[in-house]
Amino acid sequence: MILNEADGQQGKMGNVQGTSGYLDDAVFKTVVANVPLVSIDLIVRDEEGRILLGKRVNKPARGMWFSMGGRVMKNEAIADAIRRISQTELGVEPASKPAFLGVFEHFYDEGIFEGVSTHYVNLGYEIEVKTLPSLPKEQHSQYRWFAPDELMRSDAVHQYVKDYFTTQPGSVPQNKEEK
C-alpha cells in the first residue's frame, strides 16, 4: 500500500485527502485501526492456466507469495478500481471481463502501522493475461508463475491466496490468522 502526503482538500480535520485519493498517515492509521478496508485481489492467469504471484515487500504478509491487489478508493466504482489496480500492479488493462470469485476476509495482526491490526474485506476477481510488460517492484520484489497444484502445496504461498482456490464463490469462511 502506498501512502502519499496529503496535498489537497482542507476540512475540519485539516489536510485529510490529497488529489491522489490517498489519506494522510494519521487519518489512515485511525481508519485502519477502526474499520475494515475494502480491497480487490486479482488472480492473474496466463493462457496455460498458471497463476502469477508476487513476493510481498510490505506488511502485511511481507515475504510471502501473494496475489496482486489494492484497496478501493472512496467514490471509485469497482470496475474502475479493477482497471486502476491492474494498470498499477501489472502494467496492463484486463483483456477480458474479470470473473468474480467471491467475497473474502483477511485478518492480519500486523500492518503498515506498528501495533495496529489490519482487516480487509476482499473482492476476488480472476483475469487472464497474454503478455506482461516489466512488472513494478514497489509491492513485490519478485514475480513467479505457479501451477495451481504447486501453489496449493507451497508453504511460501500465503493461505489467503490458497483460499481463492478452495472456497465456494461468494463465501466468507476464513478465520482470523492463528497466532
Q: How many domains does the chain have?
A: 2
Q: Are 61 and 115 in the same domain? A: yes
93 pLDDT tier (thresholds 50, 70, 90): confident
Residue pair 52/142 in contact (Cβ under 8 Å)? The answer is no
Residue pair 42/84 in contact (Cβ under 8 Å)? The answer is no
Contacts of 6 (CB under 8 A, 6+ apart): 15, 16, 17, 18, 22, 23, 24, 27
Q: Are 45 and 27 in the same domain? A: no
More confident residue, 81 or 22: 81
Q: Examine residue 85 and state whether it is found in any structural domain, yes or no.
A: yes
Q: Are 85 and 123 in the same domain? A: yes
What integer pLDDT is reported at residue 66 of this predicted model? 96
Tell me the residue range of the domain where 23 lies. 1-35
Q: Are 133 and 118 in the same domain? A: yes
pTM score of the predicted model: 0.81
